[in-house]
Structure 1
Amino acid sequence: MAAGLLCLLVILGGLFPREAFAHAILTGTDPAPNSTLAQAPEQIKLTFNEPLEEGVYYIRVLDQSGAKVTDNAAEMTKDRTGIFLRLPKLEDGLYVVSYHVISGDGHPVGGSYPLTVGKAAPAAGSGETGGTGGTSTGHNHSLGSSGVDGMIQYLARGLWYAAMLGLTGWLLWRRSASGRRLPGDVSAKWTLNLQRFYLVALLFVILTHVEALLGDGGLSQLGSLLTGTGIGISWLVSLGLSLAGFLLLGRAAWLDYAWAASLLAVKALSGHAVTFPPVWASVAADFIHLAAAAVWVGGLAAAAAVYRNRREEFTSFLGRFSRAALWSIIALTVSGVALTLLFLPSLDMIIYTQWGILLLIKIGVVVLVVGTAAFLRYTLKNKRERATAKLYKVDFSFMLVILAVVGVLTYLSPAPPNEPLSWHEMGKSVHMTAEVSPKAPGTNTFKVTVWVLDTLGPPKHVQMNAQYEPKEGEEATLAPIQIPLELQENQEKNWLEGYNMYTYYTQGPYLPLPGKCMLEVRIMDSNDDEAVYKKEFRLY
């Protein structure tokens, strides 16, 4: 069974991302990535789509020798959606900007990109002067979450969820009629072992995630991470509860219930739910979802304890468990639907996002659980004990599958990330490449490179328009937004013989809204022949 769970994690790691996307997305950079600036900037400012954690963040600017240009610390804006670094007077040359932040739900976000000041050789891929920019930021949403490291992190989270839900659910079931009939030493032993399992799993999660959250800040930032970020505080509180549990659990029923509720509440207050408004509704739905899952997972653990120590009561316990599991599945379904509606801007995202695909897999396994439960009730009714025991094992296996899926699901952003657009079209006499970065609602950089037959001379006109599609059920359509491109002095090598190359650039809030958008580029040559290229994409 353990080997099967490991194989499932490997499969999920292959199907799903090398990068586990966080919620905080870089929506603005000033100056623009890959830009060549006539004058040195006074500061570097980065803007994100949601509030950031205040404990750990930095911007570093390195010169061509790899040395930091300033020891100034980055500062955060009052609304916590941006960070900026004040710079000394920079000499002409090539610089690299590196940044690291933690999003509101506890995921690390970072990246690097070049800047050129003055007459130094421009950054690779840049063909602009006087403030123009390219499109790649090297933005990475999951530092340390690829390859073997990523698989270990997924495994750690899966074990942590199994331990948390198993322990909290067990504390509920041990107080049931069947649980109370277990020998006292057996009940205490199961409680102690589940507590140990949870403590080890929690430490495993912390050890496998702390490096990515610290970034290049190192252990000197550990105190800020643990006391100044939501994820760090949740780790400390969970660790405190875990240690206190060794002294408190088993003394009184109300104490067990309060401890279990507190542990689930800490998780609900430190995950995806805290980043989606209204926060109270998201957190409440998440808590209900966790509590319902704990009833099911803890019930399976209690069934194993009864089977090993009170086998004569195993069948009757499964009867009570199946009734509780039915209400658990109903609560899971209702709260899961609520969370999906709160997390996703549009339900159609389910079918083309990694989070949505995993959710569908999870739903499919839950359907199998419901089917198994129906057969289980049938075998109980007809007193077929051998078949009942086999179905219990099947149900337990499905639990492991769901927990493995959850280990990946909880680290993915429900909404897909906005990624820079690089779009190339080959025509008969005109070729075109359009780049948009970060391709997110708000301020973007737009670059269009045009190749025209050298016999035709420069284009008469190059125009870019953005046309938003109306939302479903809405008749009103926004008029096209014209994006004012300006011709730049080319500094890139023209790789296409027989053609002249022309580069156009602008930066501004010309993609102001989320939604489906049609980008149009119109190029008119000297013979008044017009080439029109269109590209559809979605902004999240």
Structure 2
Amino acid sequence: MILSLLGGLFPREASAHAALISTEPAPNSRMEQGPEQIRLTFNEALEESVFYIHVLDQSGNKITSEEASMTQDRTAIVLKLPKLGEGLYVVSYHVISGDGHPVGGSYPITVGDPPASGEAAAAEAPHEHGIGSSGVDGLLQFIARGFWYAAMLSLTGWLFWRRSASIQRLPEAVSSRWTRMLQLFYLITLLFVVATHLESLLGGGGLSQLGNLLTRTGIGISWLVSLALSLLGFMLLTRRAWLDYTWAAALLLTKSLSGHAVTFSPEWASVLSDAVHLAAAALWVGGLFAAAVIYTKKRDEFTGFLAAFSRAALASIVVLTVSGIILVLLFLPDLTYIFDTQWGILLLIKLGLVLVVAGTGALLRYYMKKNNEQAVRSWYKVDFSAMLLILLAVGFLTYLSPAPPNQPLNWHEMGKTAHMTAVVTPNAPGTNSFAVTVWLPENTGAPKHVQMNVQYQPAAGNEEALAPIQIPLELQSGSKNEMKIAGFTAYSYAVQGPFLPLPGQCVLEVRIMDSNDDETVFKKEMKLY
């Protein structure tokens, strides 16, 4: 039931971690002559080994064997093009973001005025969606990561608690057997993660890119290091306490060096906070698991162990809270963004579960002081169940982007006497391309005036607002619009410039005045991150 509910919360696609913020030429653009290159710019640094841009003609064939290159700052990829003839082309791309998530997509561009039949053929060219995967594949990726985190935290936490007095009273054979079982569980879940993520990370490059993925990307290297540590663990663990702790720390640090933390500045602070966060989580998860082992194998030690675990769990919850707050502040430039993404919503759900854990811990301590063993056992089960839910939520959280990406605006309005379509790309603070098409009745003639304005809303607690920014649209002579509306004539306007200079909440306005001086006004609220 829980899997179904979470699957419904994230039904189609996960949010991409590196967002495409600029394309040259723009998607769906029509040009008289072909471009000299394709340039795709992203909002963060990319992995520099596994990436490509493919341009397909109307027959689905690549128009060049040249490979794309990456800019020095690793935020853009560029593909030089040969001279393109008239026709419809499909641009397909694939990159891996700095935190190890695949991002890809496809879009058409048109050169000249190809026949309609050619457009239909090219429209059937392959299209690659972004990260992730929808349906069963996507759910399998989330489940794999949830099990992987459960295995990693259970194993590393168990290695700490294994040295406690209560665990040492267990027969050595029992303690060693559970250690080996957790090691096997971790190895299997690691391979499960690799198996469910490998295809999407390789993209269209296929197995020919496997070597680059495993040896020249952060996520691939982390997989290899984790696999090596896992195999070494079968030879090294349970021999010395310091060796167990060192091994566990190395495993947690490897994870911290391959996720969200490495893509946010300052990197040292985010990686350190993430490692501390994982260590505190391991202390809590491992303790709950150790309590379950004691409950099944040496029940008379159960309450005594919970007394020691309760003190450590309180400290771990405090550390988890502090490190979690630090990570959120590092990941989000504005705390209000937490309500604008699936990552933020799921984080709030996780916070609610943590509050349940805190309340459960308080009740456990209360009933332990009252020597009510039956109540202690019942509330321990609640605590253990909350842990499973949190680990499941973590499986989703680690594959969602904390910061909300700005999506290109495609806005269409049907009015009584005028219709309008506006496209803003990339729809982010800075320089943007604005394209507006208006449709007026044929007997009305051309519009006297078409104006676009943006009005920024004042920030909370600030009564002062910027005056509206005028976006100076220019009439595009000879432009064609594929959308036909019976009885109406289309007029196209465009401009490029820094007319959306700031992040924040704003209202985009398009004002259309026809030849009779009648004005139609369309408004749309939007938020720039």
TM range (shorter): over 0.9
Distance 2:2 2:483 in 1: 49
Letter aligned with residue 494 of structure 2: Y
Distance 1:78 1:428 in 2: 51
By how many angstroms is 1:483 displaced?
2.6
Q: Which runs of 5+ in 2 are unaligned?
A: 120-125
Where do residues 184-333 of structure 1 align in structure 2 (5 Å cutoff)? Answer: 184-333=172-321
What is aligned with 1:537? 526
Where do residues 148-163 of structure 1 align in structure 2 (5 Å cutoff)? Answer: 148-163=136-151
Q: Are residues 123 and 346 of structure 1, via their aligned partners in 2, closer, same or farther at CA, if it must alter by over 3 Å? A: farther
The more displaced of 24-33 and 344-353 is 344-353
Distance 1:394 1:153 in 2: 27
Query: Contact (CA 8 Å) 1:39, 1:118: kept in 2 or not?
Result: yes
- Which of 6, 16, 28 lines up with 1:12 in the alignment? 6
Distance 1:163 1:245 in 2: 14
What is aligned with 2:488? 499
SS at match of 1:383: coil
Q: What is the TM-score when the length of structure 2 is the normalising length? A: 0.94
Deviations 1:176-220 (A, max 9, x none): 222222222111111111000000000000000010000011000
Residue 68 in structure 1 maps to residue 62 in structure 2: yes
By how many angstroms is 1:116 displaced?
1.3
Residue 103 in structure 1 maps to residue 97 in structure 2: yes
SS at match of 1:113: strand
Distance 2:329 2:460 in 1: 16
Residue 53 in structure 1 maps to residue 47 in structure 2: yes
By how many angstroms is 1:308 displaced?
2.3
Query: Contact (CA 8 Å) 1:272, 1:410: kept in 2 or not?
Result: yes
What is aligned with 1:437? 425
Letter aligned with residue 178 of structure 1: S
Distance 2:382 2:248 in 1: 27
Letter aligned with residue 87 of structure 1: L
Where do residues 312-391 of structure 1 align in structure 2 (5 Å cutoff)? Answer: 312-391=300-379
The more displaced of 160-169 and 177-186 is 177-186
Letter aligned with residue 213 of structure 2: L
Query: Contact (CA 8 Å) 1:468, 1:478: kept in 2 or not?
Result: yes
Q: Are residues 520 and 359 of structure 1, via their aligned partners in 2, closer, same or farther at CA, if it must alter by over 3 Å? A: same
SS at match of 1:414: coil
Letter aligned with residue 397 of structure 1: S
Q: Which runs of 5+ in 1 are unaligned?
A: 1-6, 126-136
Distance 1:376 1:294 in 2: 20
Q: Are residues 60 and 85 of structure 1, via their aligned partners in 2, closer, same or farther at CA, if it must alter by over 3 Å? A: same
Where do residues 15-94 of structure 1 align in structure 2 (5 Å cutoff)? Answer: 15-94=9-88
Distance 1:221 1:503 in 2: 44
By how many angstroms is 1:164 displaced?
0.3
The more displaced of 218-227 and 435-444 is 435-444
Larger relative contact order (C-alpha < 8 A, sep ≥ 6)?
Answer: 1
Q: Are residues 124 and 515 of structure 1, via their aligned partners in 2, closer, same or farther at CA, if it must alter by over 3 Å? A: farther
Letter aligned with residue 64 of structure 1: Q
Deviations 1:34-78 (A, max 9, x none): 111112211111000110001200000011111111111100000
Distance 1:495 1:35 in 2: 17
Deviations 1:274-304 (A, max 9, x none): 1111211111111111111101100011112
Query: Contact (CA 8 Å) 2:343, 2:402: kept in 1 or not?
Result: yes
By how many angstroms is 1:320 displaced?
0.6
By how many angstroms is 1:418 displaced?
1.8
Query: Contact (CA 8 Å) 1:443, 1:509: kept in 2 or not?
Result: yes
Q: Are residues 369 and 123 of structure 1, via their aligned partners in 2, closer, same or farther at CA, if it must alter by over 3 Å? A: farther
- Which of 500, 504, 507 lines up with 1:515 in the alignment? 504
Residue 469 in structure 1 maps to residue 457 in structure 2: yes
Q: Are residues 159 and 330 of structure 1, via their aligned partners in 2, closer, same or farther at CA, if it must alter by over 3 Å? A: same
SS at match of 1:423: strand
* Root mean square deviation, CA, Å: 2.1
Distance 1:199 1:107 in 2: 21
SS at match of 1:40: coil
Letter aligned with residue 26 of structure 2: A
Deviations 1:357-415 (A, max 9, x none): 11111111111111111221122112222222222122111111111111111111112
Distance 1:49 1:510 in 2: 19
Identical-residue share of aligned pairs (%): 67
SS at match of 1:44: strand
Distance 1:275 1:478 in 2: 33
